[in-house]
Chains A and B, each alone.
Chain A
């Protein structure tokens, strides 16, 4: 972990009409850090992630991602990040190999680089036999692991993971997190949201959002001490109320 922030957010506000989805968010994320972004549904997490990944613009406030400004340099941001969301990442009717070549092309990687990363990826995940199988044929756990590998295929500075382990069996979940650890060791910052509170413990630091604001931000250990809790789940239950509606 370095001391240079790869994500720098000051007083970020995002409004939809009169509705304030993100209310003055301020935080920094450092290189190689695993940063957990927690909060109830509707707390504003997805809105914030969309801004950070260059998909939407803030209403006001300073937002720098990988050194680029989120208002005017969204294309540069997109080039330097990876993104994996739960619902869709890979094309179901294409094969493993086709997906990798496709995304490699989209990220602007050279043919030879794609080929070598493909080989590397397949052997690391022990996926060689699945090279020519379509995604729809793969079990969910494998799909998630592959989706993650594809999201970091181009070695971006930051990778955003939106609930990547939903519904996956606990063994695969842990294997997935080992992949995350290994990725962070390589210096890639991992920004992850999750509903599994135990996964919050795997993060270097964790922030909890509620009703558009950040109500807690610290390492899991310090948060537990501060709120006199045995687990991050307890902290969460103590301070995050689900949306009243």
Chain B
């Protein structure tokens, strides 16, 4: 299988700020590859380097087998890009936007319509509406259609689901999954940890460093300890009290429970007693399945210390 992206040792600084630090990763053809990390981690900078909009300070980057720094002109024909801010022309209609991008890339809407049919069908009833008047979810779909219309080999999506509600986010990932069958490789960034599970492979990035690259299941399963979930009605008191417990390694709120790891797993037996003594009488503990976010938190804690 050909590698669509091969990179090693990419560094990028803006003035005194080091945005990217020795970034190396590979992406296989047809993969949906996710970059997960908070704001300021370096995702946008990296994506701009991949789409040839920025030059790295050093490092190597081959895209579709071509050196991205010297042959960027050729690459630009084969990349579809959806930058963070849904760059659509607000005063052009849905149709006009799509036609424009098709024409600029030397194709027509009809030619690759099958590629975007699933996505575009949601907004086609509104094709005469100005892009500026669409809702967030619809703008997202239009931007995706425009990025795909020339059938790029590599699709780069920079935080396409940020600021959009949970339902639209889920629909968007359904659409991405369907694109696999067209052999398009997709590079996505997102701050939402749960979206990591929908990628084939994932890179966790924080403060310009890649903390890990692997299939999401592997990342999750590499969690080094046993994970426990403790519930109580007094959530805040539970957290603060747990942190005072001598065997607590980490304690993080997770929805309606607190996920805890212990420095010594036998502490499982004594923690309820401790909590009751401290005034929390309704605590209940059970071992729980590790989710990818648990692993991310663990990596980030350690990454932050590194």
Contacts and interface: CB of A to CB of B under 8 A. Distances in A.
Nearest to A39: B165
Given A41-B135, A167-B191, A185-B236, A201 B256 contact: yes
Interface stretch (A61-69, A105-113, A234-242): A234-242
Given A168-B39, A169-B206, A178-B236, A220 B256 contact: yes
A244 B28 CA distance: 36
B38 A168 contact: yes
A202 interface: yes
A177 interface: yes
A170 B170 CA distance: 20
Interface residues of A, number: 39
A40 B253 contact: no
Nearest to B38: A169
Interface string A33-74: 000000111100000000000000000000000000000000
17 contacts: A40-B165, A41-B164, A42-B136, A140-B38, A140-B39, A140-B40, A171-B297, A171-B300, A174-B252, A181-B236, A195-B163, A197-B166, A198-B255, A201-B256, A220-B256, A232-B255, A245-B135
A174 B126 contact: no
Nearest to A202: B253
B253 A178 contact: yes
Interface in B289-306: 293, 296-297, 300-301, 304
Contacts of A220: 256
A181 B239 contact: yes
A1 B221 CA distance: 40
B217 to A, nearest CB: 19
Contacts of B254: 198
Contacts of A221: 256
B168 A167 contact: no
B167 interface: yes
Contact of B253 (A41, A169, A177, A243): A177
Given A177-B253, A195-B165, A198-B255, 12 more contacts: A39-B165, A41-B163, A140-B39, A168-B191, A169-B39, A169-B41, A169-B191, A170-B296, A184-B236, A196-B192, A242-B168, A245-B138
Nearest to A240: B167
B256 A141 contact: no
B209 interface: no
B198 to A, nearest CB: 14
B162 interface: yes
Contacts of B163: 41, 166, 195
Nearest to B252: A174
A144 B163 CA distance: 16
A128 interface: no
A89 interface: no
Nearest to B37: A169
Q: Identify the interface centre among B165, B191, B235, B300: most chain A CB within 10 Å of its CB.
A: B165
Contact of B166 (A42, A166, A233, A243): A233
Interface string B116-127: 000000000010
A202 B233 CA distance: 11
A231 B255 CA distance: 8
B164 A245 contact: no
Interface string B235-258: 110010000000000001111100
A40 B138 CA distance: 13
Interface string B246-284: 000000111110000000000000000000000000000
Interface in B1-47: 37-41
Interface string A207-240: 0000000000000110000000001110011001
Q: Identify the interface centre among B38, B135, B301, B304: most chain A CB within 10 Å of its CB.
A: B38
Nearest to A182: B236
B236 A139 contact: no
Contact of B167 (A42, A139, A232, A241): A241
